[in-house]
Amino acid sequence: MLGDLAFFSLAHLADPGSHRAYNEWHQLDHRPENLALPGVTWGERWVHPPDVAELAVVGDVGPFHYLNMYWFRAPVDQSRREWSELAERSLQWGRRADLALATRPMMAFFHPTQAYVSEGVAISENALPIRPNLGVYARLTRVAEPRTPAALDRFAWWDRVGVPELVARPGAAGAVTFASESTFVAPFDLTAGAPPESVRLHLVYLDADPLQFARSLAADPVEPPGRGDLEAVLFSGALRAIVPWEWSWFDPAPEAVRP
């Protein structure tokens, strides 16, 4: 794996006119400072613009505009501490423009559990996340009881059937499955009372237009068999890669010019 730990956050901007300011801050200030940290292996972000949002399933996580992530290398405790210290220092520098611009429907640490590379993609699993992409397809779910036989069967289905089907779709370069830190309880004990819920994420990296990939899944979904209530879908949909200075996804359409 590229790292032992990953951080994901969702960002929602209430003011349609604030997207340029938010992207200028994140792409030209916040992300470079984070990538310069020795413990941060990689960081990337994607946008959920209106054209692909029409095909998305949005559950309890609520609407959002951006998915942000960072990978951390071992020792993860030190890497996470340095990363958190940078966040505090940037606040003291007056360089946290996001505090006035964005809310965070989700912020959480995840462990990568498995990586998959599509057939014909000549790259290792470790290099997949830093390979250029046109976007991702994300499936974020919550499993209330992750250590039951039914949940284990579901996890096995995704690992052996579901995710391989996703990465076999045209336009997919590979995928990584993540499970929230709450899933990793030490010591591992199946008899120690009710375990915490697990939030799981399948992230499919795309070489093709995310809208076309989303349309393919809408026409022919990859859905697990069995109980529909076993996993609560928090979000399922495509997101586009972000090109610096091309931040016009949410700008109002220009008024028609009258003859």
Residue for token digits 């069995």?
226
Q: What pTM value is reported for the model?
A: 0.93
**What 3-state DSSP class applies to 55?**
coil
The answer on pLDDT for 180 being more than 60 is yes
**CA 251 to CA 168: how far, in whole Å?**
35
What Å distances lie between residue 109 and 5, 61, 203, 235, CA to CA?
Answer: 7, 16, 15, 17
What pLDDT digit, counting tens, does each position of 151-173 carry?
999 999 999 999 999 999 999 99
The stretch 241-252 carries a mean pLDDT of 94
The answer on pLDDT for 257 being more than 50 is no
pLDDT for 194 equals 55
253 within 8 A of 229, measured Cβ to Cβ: no
242 within 8 A of 47, measured Cβ to Cβ: yes
- Tell me the one-letter amino acid at 236: S
Which H or E run includes 201? strand 198-206
Q: What is the mean pLDDT of the chain?
A: 92
pLDDT for 256 equals 45
Q: How far is CA 103 from the centre of its chain?
A: 16
What's the CATH fold of domain 5-241? Alpha-Beta Plaits (3.30.70)
What pLDDT digit, counting tens, does each position of 187-214 carry?
445 555 555 789 999 999 999 999 999 9
The answer on pLDDT for 259 being more than 80 is no
Domain ranges, ordered by start, for the chain: 5-241
